[in-house]
Amino acid sequence: MKTAAPTRQVMKTEMNEYEPHIIVTEDGDDFAAASARIFCEAARPLKNPLVILPTGNTPLGMYRCLARDYRNENFWNNFTYVALDEYIGLEDGDPRLFGSWVQRELLDFVAVARDRRITFKSNPHDKGAECARMENFLTENGPADLAVLGLGVNGHIGFNEPGSAFDSRTRVVNLAPETITANSKYWGGEEHVPRTAFTMGLGTLAQARRTVMLVSGMHKADILEKTLTAPISEDIPSTYLRTIPNVTIISDRSAAP
Ligand code: F6R
């Protein structure tokens, strides 16, 4: 008889458990405005903010609010953007590139300098070297002051899919079937979603000084609840947020526990 593969529940004795700070907003504009305000409060006191940013639908309202209402903040002059993840195999100029998605939604409006936009090359000669380049950037210039994250319906963070080790580093991953389905909404069908990606590892992200995760929509309510209450386990990568300090979760009413 086939037995199920054992799941790796991370023992509580291996780590401290922290409680993320949770902010619940109304849906829509209120969620975007609160996220932008908290983002600015975090960035303003910093001389050279080094910030990891995600793509996806959830942060779009915040990006638009930042581009509209906060474009003249001084911190943008010394702001460095580091990409959280990227599809593999896309040519320069492809609209699906995550790096260019953040640039056209936010960075072009707030005029972040080109040499301060640190993105993955989607099509590098050597994928291992590309991962090392991004890790080295953070080692030499980091840790990141702030990691802004979204939450996948399967609990993924970046593209750290279920089963990703909490000490994982930047690497190449296969997208989970539910991620391919979720991403198909961005690009009009699963056939347009690349199957592999680069992602910063959970161990890499855990080094950020502060983490803000944005969660919106009823379809995220169940996984947000699990993130906060299920046993801490690599089966639900987002539970790593309870193993690090300085985590804020901004949730709209629809996703809130
Ligand atoms: C995107 C990323 C993903 C998304 C997550 C939620 O760069 O890293 O982890 O944050 O899949 O996506 P949305 O916001 O589209 O629901």
Which of 148, 94, 150 shows the shortest CA–CA distance to 122? 94
Label residue 16 by pLDDT band (50, 70, 90).
confident
Question: With the C-alpha atoms ordered 146, 148, 164, 11, is the resulting torsion angle positive or negative?
Answer: positive
Residue nearest to atom 9 of ligand 1 (CA): 158
> Whose Cα sits closest to atom 12 in ligand 1?
56
Q: Tell me what pLDDT residue 2 has.
A: 41
pLDDT at position 34, please? 98
Ligand 1 pocket member 252 (CB < 6 A): no
- Give me 131's structure tokens: 């991962």
| Residue 155: band (very low, low, confident or very high) from pLDDT cuts 50, 70, 90 | very high
Helix (H, G, I), strand (E, B), or coil: what is residue 70? coil
Distance CA 112, CA 106 (A): 9
Specify the pLDDT at position 3: 45
pLDDT tens digits along 77-113: 999 999 999 999 999 999 999 999 999 999 999 999 9
> Is any atom of ligand 1 closer than 6 Å to the C-beta of 99?
no
Stronger pLDDT, 178 or 15, i.e. the higher one: 178
Residue 197 Cβ inside 6 Å of ligand 1? The answer reads: no
The yes-or-no verdict on residue 9 having pLDDT over 80 is no
Model confidence pLDDT, tens digit, residues 34-65: 999 999 999 999 999 999 999 999 999 999 99
195-214 pLDDT, tens per residue? 999 999 999 999 999 999 99
Q: How confident is the model at residue 1 (pLDDT cuts 50, 70, 90)?
A: very low
Atom of ligand 1 at shortest distance to CA of 186?
Answer: 15
How many CA atoms lie within 13 Å of 54's alpha carbon, on the beta-carbon side? 26
- Residue 240: pLDDT over 60: yes
Q: What is the mean pLDDT of residues 233-250?
A: 98
Pairing of strands 85-87, 146-149: unpaired
Q: How far apart are CA 12 and CA 152, in angstroms?
A: 24
Percent of the chain with pLDDT over 90: 93
Which residue has the least CA distance to atom 10 on ligand 1? 150
Whether 55 is in the pocket of ligand 1, judged by its Cβ within 6 Å, is: yes
Report the mean per-residue pLDDT for the chain: 95
Q: Which residues are catalytic?
A: 85, 154, 156, 161
The model carries a pTM of: 0.95
